[in-house]
Amino acid sequence: MPRGRALTWLGRTTASVTLVFVLVLAVGGCDALGKIGAASHTPPAKSFTVSSRVTAVVIDGGSGSISVTGSARSSVLVAQQASYSKTAPSVTHVVRGTTLTLSYTCPVELVCGVSYDVQVPSGVSVSVSAGAGSITLTSLSGPVTARADAGLITAVALGSASASFSSSAGGVIASFSAVPRSVSASTDVGPITLTVPGTVAYKISTHTFVGTSTITVRKSATSAHVIHASSDLGSISISPA
């Protein structure tokens, strides 16, 4: 590996590994404080329905898991679970045009976050971001984008024509029930596993600094179905369903 490239990789990897250790220490610290009496409040989850027409859902998460499931329903059902040390986060949902945005803000305290469990019409566009927490996307057929600073991204039975996944410290596991037109997956630290229908050939590009790439789907440099996967530190697998 050329010296410049090695230094670039080392810098990226060091930053990612540092993030992992910071998160581990943070979790360990919270647990230790909990054992000596620091309180964490987790009130019952709150649910509401958005009945107005929604074609896109945006979730700006921070600390907490996010799950979005597509269904035959025409409205959006949101369940949100807050956790906090002293003061509850300020949670908002706003509909502008046909875009629903879910977000929250926190005061400065030891524990503060919101987990979301959202059911949407399957064809809506979904864009999700999380700071520290897992993201799960299930049975969606509209365009999807998911980004996690630290957490596993899992996508199941996607019928989406386009999908983009990015995790700084965590992995990406995605399976498609329909042939996608465009898939992009990247991690700084973590493996990538993509499962796509084997009925067509794909134009595939992969890149790893440390790790192996295993591709068992048919490939074609001229295919209109494009997959790009990149991991600084982690293996890549692209296989047929």
Range 167-191 average pLDDT: 98
Kindly report the backbone phi and psi dihedral angles of residue 29, in degrees, each rounded to the nearest multiple of 5, phi listed first: -65, -45
Q: Which residues contact 77 (CB under 8 A, 6 or more apart)?
A: 47, 48, 49, 118, 119
pLDDT reported for residue 30 = 37
What amino acid is encoded at 182 in this protein? S
Sole residue written with tokens 């499931």: 69
In DSSP notation, 180-222 reads: -SEEEEEEEES-EEEEE-TTS-BEEEEEEEES-EEE-S-B-TT
Percent of the chain's residues with pLDDT above 90: 83
Percent of the chain's residues with pLDDT above 70: 84
pLDDT reported for residue 16 = 41
CA 42 to chain centre: 23
Does pLDDT of 185 surpass 90?
Answer: yes
Task: Label residue 40 by pLDDT band (50, 70, 90).
Answer: confident
Q: How many angstroms separate the CA atoms of 52 and 50, rounded?
A: 6
Does pLDDT of 32 surpass 80?
Answer: no
Computed over every residue of the chain, the mean pLDDT equals: 88
Rounded to two decimals, the pTM is 0.84
Kindly report the backbone phi and psi dihedral angles of residue 151, in degrees, each rounded to the nearest multiple of 5, phi listed first: 165, 155
Does pLDDT of 27 surpass 70?
Answer: no
6-10, 87-91, 181-185: which range is least confident on average?
6-10
CATH of 40-240, one of 2.160.20, 1.10.3470, 3.30.70, 1.20.1250: 2.160.20
Range 58-82 average pLDDT: 97
Range 165-181 average pLDDT: 97
Residue ranges of the domains in the chain? 40-240
